């Protein structure tokens, strides 16, 4: 497994990036403490799917509120406002991003902004338009 390396805030690792998959998809593992998760956002070019490995997550998908436990799959169609947050410490989720769109590059830059003291919402606003992840 490829470690994204250099992360100071995010606890994520890339399992498959766009280079490995020929741009077909990216697969990332995310580990969160209780209450952690990104600010509401939208992907205009890519669909996203979350497969919960451990713990529990709360998802907002459009107007829907969902709770996901191990074995749950949550699909987010492109263009849909969404967010997720861990409901327990050490909650783990696989994130599938289809097609690939520089998600691992986005995560590296996001981590640097979070380390500088910005909130998730502020960091995402700073990166708006640069990657396929815009605040919503």
Is residue 115 a part of any domain in this protein?
A: yes
Indicate the pLDDT class of residue 3, thresholds 50, 70 and 90. very low
119 or 53, higher pLDDT? 53
Is 5 part of any domain? Answer: no
What's the whole-model pTM score?
0.90
Q: Is the pLDDT of residue 6 over 60?
A: no
Residue 7 lies in a domain: no
In this prediction, residue 4 has a pLDDT band, given cuts at 50, 70 and 90, of very low
User: Phi then psi for 24, rounded to 5 degrees?
Assistant: -70, -45
> Given a cut of 80, is residue 94 above it in pLDDT?
yes
Task: Please give the pLDDT value at position 1.
Answer: 40
| Domain presence at residue 123 | yes
Tell me which residue of 102, 118, 97, 98 sits closest to 38, measured CA to CA.
118
Q: Does residue 36 lie within any of the structural domains?
A: yes
Q: What is the CATH number of the domain that holds 102?
A: 2.60.120.10
Query: What is the count of structural domains for the chain?
Result: 1
Please report whether residue 3 resides in a domain. Answer: no
Mean pLDDT, the chain, whole residue set: 91
Domain residues for 63? 12-135
Mean pLDDT of 40-61: 97
Query: Would you say residue 1 lies in a domain?
Result: no
């Amino acid at each position: 497994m490829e470690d994204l390396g250099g992360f100071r805030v995010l606890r994520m690792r890339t399992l498959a990036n766009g280079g490995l998959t020929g741009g077909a998809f990216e697969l990332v593992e995310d580990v969160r403490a209780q209450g952690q998760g990104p600010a509401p956002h939208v992907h205009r070019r890519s669909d996203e799917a979350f497969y919960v490995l451990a713990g529990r997550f709360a998802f907002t998908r459009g107007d829907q509120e969902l709770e996901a436990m191990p074995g749950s799959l949550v699909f987010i169609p492109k263009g849909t406002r969404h967010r997720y947050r861990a409901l327990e410490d050490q909650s783990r989720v696989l994130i599938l991003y289809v097609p690939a769109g520089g998600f691992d590059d986005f995560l590296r830059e996001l981590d640097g902004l979070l380390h500088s003291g910005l909130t998730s919402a502020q960091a995402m606003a700073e990166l708006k338009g640069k990657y396929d992840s815009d605040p919503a």
